[in-house]
Amino acid sequence: MMVAFLVAPEGVEQVELTDPWQAVRDAGGTPRLVSTASGRVQAFHHLDKADTFEVDQTVKDARVDEYDGLVLPGGVANPDLLRLDKRAVAFVKGFFEAGKPVAAICHAPWTLVEAVVVRGRTLTSFPSVRTDITNAGGVWVDEQVKICEGGPNALITSRKPDDLKAFDEAFLEEFAKASGSKHKGAA
């Protein structure tokens, strides 16, 4: 299972990148860091700088057909920067058009709103994103993890870092279904 993790050059919430990344590895999958720029991305612990991570592929060179699923980590700045990048938004939209599963946590649904893929879908997020989701035609729920299969693909969302265990388990199961592999259990 090959999984794209799409992040901006800075602003990703580190634990929302590293925890799902490790869950993919523990399940026998291959995570790849895709960004809008090459080099390294700067992660954050809330508002404080944390570690940097090497980019595997730029979004301009990435193709949806290379991947079984997409993970969108949060952080306040990360999805805000991604939604300003046309290639990043097109990459996200491409997963929906291809019927491939997408997982988004915390503020990451902002990028989904920009890709115009939430109308008629039920999802969760950090509470401050609720109005954006409902204004875009989505249904917002306050749940630890929400799997919405009522569309072209499975959409897995969670609210915050405290939900990571449930988020990891849910998206791994959906990604395994989509890729035809067996979920060995992770997280």
Model confidence at 55, pLDDT cuts 50, 70, 90, reads: very high
What's the whole-model pTM score?
Answer: 0.95
pLDDT tens digits, 110-159: 999 999 999 999 999 999 999 999 999 999 999 999 999 878 899 999 99
Contacts of 46 (CB under 8 A, 6+ apart): 13
| Percent of the chain whose pLDDT exceeds 70 | 96
- Domain 2-179, CATH among 3.40.50.880, 3.30.1370.60, 3.50.50.60, 1.10.3720.10: 3.40.50.880
| Mean pLDDT rounded to a whole number for the chain | 95
Confidence check: pLDDT of 182 > 50: no
In residues, how long is the chain?
Answer: 187
Q: Given the DSSP bridges, would you call strands 145-148 and 155-158 parallel, antiparallel or unpaired?
A: antiparallel
Catalytically active residues are: 107
Domain boundaries, the chain: 2-179
User: What type of residue is 43?
Assistant: A
DSSP structural state of residue 98: T
